[in-house]
Structure 1
Amino acid sequence: MFILLVAANAMLVLATRQLDTAVTVAEPYTQVTARADELTVPAVTPSPTPMTPAPAAATEVLAVYGDGYALGNEQGGLGVAGWPALVAAGSGMTLTLHAAPQAGYVSVGSTGQNYPGLAETGPVPDAAVTLVVGSRNDRSADAATVQANAQEIISDLRAAATSTAIVIVGPIWTDDDAPADILAVRDAVEAAATAAGVTFVDPIAEGWFAEPTGLISFDGISPTDAGHAHLADLITPLVNAALGQQ
């Protein structure tokens, strides 16, 4: 009997110990597999890359030598309204203007210079196109001297800008009846241009101001702003043609 009690007590103790023993159970887990295109990636803003502006394209240079027609006056053609500025803008060029009222190939202008003097003191070595325009101010000059001085300025312009295209525009008259002395100046300038092998344009023969109404001011000489725009329309194609030959 005593043996049965001892065995029962031992079994009770063993059962109690089994109940007191901690049992650890692994927590279930779920594996998640996501495709790359389903992943959310925080947006990344790239640092701005400094932009260096492209250098402005260099423009060709237009050199103009002339008299009051090129310079303009209070009756028309001052500054950007003048035909030289309009021609440069229309051709996409940079203007360099050397002009003086009353100047001509022989006639000395308000600056104390004639055309050869203007070219001597104002050379433009980088000129792509060079225009010399005029001049009715030489009407009292000896035709042979006009021709010699025209040849001189052409030579000087070539020496200053060896690659420039030279265009010589004869004297401009403001109606369709140019007097004989102006025609003599025209012929002398044309002879110089022909001898030098440069382009000559004859505004008298082409009738640039054969119909001057609205284009010439009350003094009968000075182009108005409209007259300068008219001159620009006539001269711009000459410059573009010369530029295309460069």
Structure 2
Amino acid sequence: MASRRVRRSAASLLICVPLLVTGCASRAHEAGKAKSPKANGRGSASAPVVMFLGDSYTVGEKRVQPETTYAAATARLLGWQVVQGGRSGTGFVNPSSKHTPFDKLFEDQLGWRPPPALLVVSGGHNDGKYPAGKVSDAARTLLQKIRSRWPKTRIVLIGPMWGSDHPSTGALAVRDGLRTVASQLKIPFIDPFTEKWITGDRDKGTGNAARYIKPDGTHPTLDGHRYLATRLAEDLRKAGLAHPAGSS
């Protein structure tokens, strides 16, 4: 019985692949069109632990739970055990109403854990109202801290995500700054703007935004999260990071 309790306790710290299968599958009928990403069948014993740090795209918001975001869906596709950190409305500088920018969220939610094989940092959407240089400095400080804390952990930086193909001027400046920081630190950078993850405009009924973005014009639908997961998984495969080795 003790061993069972230990296993249950450990499982509660991770949103593991079997849970993700159940969580996403339960929403498949609601989504209607998009198919849920299928788990790749890799045994859990060999599944790498991957962490995400981000905003509402990563951890969810109204009617989108953490286990149904693109982060969890990517874990299903690639056979990871995933831990999702972050908070809606936050960024590298923007603290949201809870006064918790990414640096504090990393310390509170992730930094005390054993090092993962891979950490995906995804943000910048909520930082567009701040000077791009300030955002870049905060991102650099955070990424250097992560590298110092977990020297064997691979890191990927994802630029801002947007609900249409015409992001704000501030978001573009933040994207440019983050790309420069990633280059300086030799960290792979994924750019949803340049890669046109989202096209068109939901309000105009154009591009894939009509299907993948909610009426708020910002956040992905359940279909949208599954689609974003396929784009991220494709980029990670190209970067050789789909199956990161353990960091211990």
Counterpart in the other structure of 2:241: 242
Q: Deviations over 1:36-80 (max 9, x none)?
A: xxxxxxxxxxxxxxxxxxx962421111000011112234x4233
Match among 96, 108, 122 for residue 83 of structure 2 = 96
Aligned match for 2:48, one of 60, 63, 71: 60
Q: Percent identity?
A: 27
Q: What stretches of structure 1 of length at least 5 have no aligned partner?
A: 1-54
Shift of residue 177 of structure 1? 1.4
Residue 191 of structure 2 is matched in structure 1 by 202
1:233 aligns with 2:220: no
Shift of 1:150: 0.7
- Residue 216, structure 1, aligned to residue 226, structure 2: no
In structure 2, the partner of 1:85 is 72
Change (3 A) 1:116 1:132: same
Give yes or no for the alignment of 1:142 onto 2:131.
yes
**8 Å CA contact 1:61, 1:129 repeated in 2:** yes
- TM-score, normalised by the number of residues in structure 2: 0.72
Matches of 1:242 and 1:175, distance apart in 2:
27
Distance in 1 between residues matched to 2:144 and 2:244, nearest whole Å: 19
Q: CA deviation at 1:205?
A: 0.8
After TM superposition, list the pairs within 5 Å mapping 1:66-81 onto structure 2. Answer: 66-75=54-63, 77-81=64-68
Instruction: State how many pairs are aligned.
Output: 191
Deviation beyond 4 Å, 4+ runs, structure 1: 243-246
Alignment of 1:120-159 (within 5 A): 120-121=107-108, 122-123=110-111, 124-159=113-148
Evaluate the alpha carbon distance shift between residue 182 and residue 79 of structure 1 in structure 2; reply closer, same or farther with a 3 A threshold: closer
In structure 1, the partner of 2:93 is: 106
TM (norm. structure 1) is 0.72
* Residues 165, 243 of structure 1: 8 Å contact kept: no
Letter in 2 for 1:115: F
Deviation at 1:160, TM superposition (A): 2.2
Listed one character per residue, the Cα deviations across residues 184-230 of structure 1 (whole Å, up to 9, x for unaligned) are 01011111111111001111111110121110000101110001001
- Using a 3 Å threshold, how does the CA distance of structure 1 residues 139 and 86 change in structure 2: closer, same or farther? same
- Give the Cα–Cα distance (whole angstroms) in 2 for the partners of residues 111 and 88 of structure 1: 28
- Output the CA distance in 2 between the equivalents of 1:154 and 1:188: 14
Partner of 2:181: 192
Distance of aligned partners of 1:81 and 1:102 in 2 relative to their CA distance in 1, 3 Å threshold = same
Following the alignment from structure 1 to structure 2, what is the Cα–Cα distance between the partners of residues 178 and 70? 18
**Residue of structure 2 equivalent to 1:118:** 105
Distance 1:94 1:238 in 2: 19
